[in-house]
Amino acid sequence: MTNEIWNQGIVRELIETNITRRLIPRGLSWFGCMGGLSLVAFIIQLGTGIFLMFYFIPSATEAVASIQKVSHSIPYGWLVHRIHAVGPHVMIGMVLSHMLRILFKGIYRHPRELHWVSGACLLILTLIMYYTGYLLSAVNRSSHSAIPMTFVYALHIAGIPLAMGLFMGMHFFMVRKTGIYEPL
Amino acid sequence: MKDYTKGKRPEMLEPFLPNELLRHLIVSCFLIILEMVAIMVFPLPWKIFNKPDHIPWFLLPLYQLRTLMQNEVVFISAVVLSALLFIAWPFLVCDRKYRMSSLRNAEDRNSNHAWHGKELHNLWYRPVLFTIVISTIIFLITLCFIKT
């Protein structure tokens, strides 16, 4: 089946048009990579978050013990936990740098208004994502919290990431459609 | 997908593979190094801002605004309004003159005229917008240093 698809040339054509034979404008700025870096930071958060999901128990009585188990008993668990805790600072720094570049260079203008709208929504969602993550660790510390931990956890691992995925899809689709900001 | 080859001479283009991919790989390596350094350094041993430990640096202006505004309804309204203004920014600053130069730019991509069109959109060349943006940034930074 895979060979058939390859022989028909669909996959080959996709790879050639998108990667190997693709031409882009010369002299793109290194600062133009900030958007890509934000994506890399998000992927790091996603990877470490999925790892932590296997061990974290979203219950007021067992949450602290589960995180301690990750940090002390699982090989390199402490590193994954630390990356997941510190990563948002780097990610938000990258997103803010990307946004400031777009703002000062006026790249949000026609026909790229919706790039800005989706990007701004992504920034707000990133901040909410950090806040729910913080609430999870705060609920960990105080077992008598008013907000149910399972609700915050569901938001943190499913609700907001799904919304972010939707906006990211929109953002990348529009970037693909209208193209990047070209130097002259 | 956008075709960048239209109306361009071959010397104005470069291959995506390896040039752009390599550029992204190099900066991604820097990002990973940055994260590793951040893991070692965070939390910082010194205090730059007067804030509780659980408030991160990027939420500090909001926290200070919350402490300054006693009324919760006013605070939430201000935050929601600011978020809406921030999202709708391209539509609020849309100007017919700049829109026209953008269209000319699209038609005449490789001429000097297009370069001027791009320059006009730069925030440095729009004094009112530049003042608004810089004042907002200064206001946010000042908020971080206010002792409440």
User: Which residues are CB-contacts of B126 (< 8 A; sequence separation ≥ 6)?
Assistant: A106, B93, B120
- Within 8 A of A71 by CB-CB distance, chain B residues are none
Residue A143 has φ and ψ, to the nearest 5°, of -75, -15
Q: Give whichever of B14-28, B35-49, B99-113 has the largest mean pLDDT.
A: B14-28
The pLDDT assigned to B103 comes to 54
Average pLDDT over residues A102-125: 90
Question: CA–CA separation, A165 vs A162, rounded Å?
Answer: 5
User: Measured between CB atoms, does B46 come within 8 Å of chain A?
Assistant: no
Query: Looking at chain B, which residue has its C-alpha nearest residue A107?
Result: B121
Paired tokens of B21? 């991919």
Q: Which of residues 117-156 of A touch B (CB under 8 A)?
A: 117, 120-121, 124, 127, 130-131, 134, 138
Residue B15 has φ and ψ, to the nearest 5°, of -70, 145
What is the Cβ-side half-sphere exposure of residue A13, based on CA atoms within 13 angstroms?
5
Mutate to test the interface with A, among B3, B4, B62, B102 (most CBs of A within 10 A): B4
Neighbours of A85 (CB within 10 A): 18
Q: What is the pTM of this model?
A: 0.84
Helix/strand/coil (H, E, C) string of A82-120? HHHHHHHHHHHHHHHHHHHHHHHHCCCCCCCHHHHHHHH
The pLDDT assigned to A184 comes to 43
pLDDT digits (tens, 9 = 90+) for A137-171: 765 555 556 678 888 899 999 999 999 999 999 99
Q: Where would I find the H helices in chain B?
A: 21-41, 60-68, 72-87, 89-92, 96-107, 112-121, 127-145
CA A158 to the chain's CA centroid: 13
Name the maximum alpha-carbon separation found in chain A.
62
- Percentage of residues in chain A having pLDDT higher than 70: 89
The yes/no answer to whether this complex scores an ipTM above 0.90 is: no
